[in-house]
Amino acid sequence: MSALRRPLTDVVRGWLDLNGPLLGPAFYLFESVRSYIEERKEAFDARFGTDTAAPVLGRDQRPGVYFYVATTASLIYEVIEALALPPDVFAFVDMGSGKGRALLVASEFAFAKIVGIELSPQLHRIAQNNVKRYSPQTQQCTDFDLRCMNVVDYAYGPEPLVLFLFDPFDRETLESVVSNLEASLRENPRDAYIAYVYPQFEDVLQASPILRKVQEGGPRWRPWSRYVVYATSPGSDGAAKTAAQRPGSG
């Protein structure tokens, strides 16, 4: 009986997914309006000559790939600054990097390298152009690695990392991403953070045996501005405990 019940549950869950066929179109319209208003306020593209704000409902999208809406630049700054990372040690990996706004903001911090993984060739090309255009005086990292590929096929490098997610894909894909990360961390123990914005599938991170929540932020009544940070630290809980003691941590 449970074998029959599960597929039905998956179907219902898919329809109720914010990016699914039922709520997805309405959510896209809402996000388009929100993105327009916030871009008028922050003027990120106007200041840097980039193209990161305009939403895209791409024709080249495939199952499990969502429409593109940019994360608010101020929120990306807030999330990265809250981590208080040592310079030139961590890789910044954005899965579902879209037009690359999070990559551009991350380059203003002293990361060892910046990786963007995007399935859509259209968005990948736009991100490449944005990286070429973006050169503020505050930029600290210019080692970009943009890849047009499926996130589940990505092989993590050996360095400590910050994995950035802005609600980029469905539950099943997120489960695969977390599983791959867990395998990499077991094989090569190192510090890692997952910064998850708009965390509608946070329970996937909660279920991980090696991750723990160390911080959360953003008002619950504005879920697109809410984020959680999960971390693991090899051999010591020091990094997680330090982060957990910061104001506003969960």
Domain boundaries, the chain: 45-244
Please name which of 77, 66, 73, 81 lies closest in space to residue 38, comparing C-alpha atoms: 73
pLDDT bin (cut points 50, 70, 90) of residue 65 is: very low
- What whole-number distance in Å separates Cα of residue 131 and Cα of residue 94? 14
Is the separation of the CB atoms in 111 and 83 below 8 Å?
no
Which residues make Cβ contacts (< 8 Å) with residue 158, sequence separation at least 6? Answer: 188, 190
Structure tokens that stand for 179 in this block = 């599983």
pLDDT bin (cut points 50, 70, 90) of residue 234 is: low
Q: Please tell me the predicted confidence (pLDDT) of residue 226.
A: 93
User: Which residue blocks in 140-217 are alpha helix, DSSP H?
Assistant: 171-187, 202-206
pLDDT, one tens digit per residue, over 81-129 is 999 999 999 999 999 999 999 999 999 999 999 999 999 999 999 999 9
Evaluate the CA torsion angle 91, 173, 183, 148 in order and state its sign. negative
Identify the helix (H) or strand (E) that includes residue 240.
Answer: helix 238-244
pLDDT, one tens digit per residue, over 33-48 is 666 667 778 889 999 9
Q: Please tell me the predicted confidence (pLDDT) of residue 125.
A: 97
Q: What percent of the chain has pLDDT over 70?
A: 74
Q: Please tell me the predicted confidence (pLDDT) of residue 24.
A: 57
Is the separation of the CB atoms in 219 and 225 below 8 Å?
yes
Is the separation of the CB atoms in 192 and 232 below 8 Å?
yes
pLDDT at 244 > cutoff 50: no
pTM of the predicted protein model? 0.80
In 10 A of CB 210, how many CB atoms?
A: 16
Q: Please tell me the predicted confidence (pLDDT) of residue 25.
A: 63
Q: Please tell me the predicted confidence (pLDDT) of residue 61.
A: 47
pLDDT at 132 > cutoff 70: yes
- What whole-number distance in Å separates Cα of residue 175 and Cα of residue 133? 34
pLDDT bin (cut points 50, 70, 90) of residue 248 is: very low
- Beta strands 227-232 and 192-197 are antiparallel
Please name which of 209, 94, 72, 247 lies closest in space to residue 161, comparing C-alpha atoms: 94
pLDDT bin (cut points 50, 70, 90) of residue 8 is: low
Half-sphere exposure of 175 (CA within 13 A, CB side): 6
- Beta strands 91-95 and 161-166 are parallel
Q: What is the CATH number that goes with domain 45-244?
A: 3.40.50.150
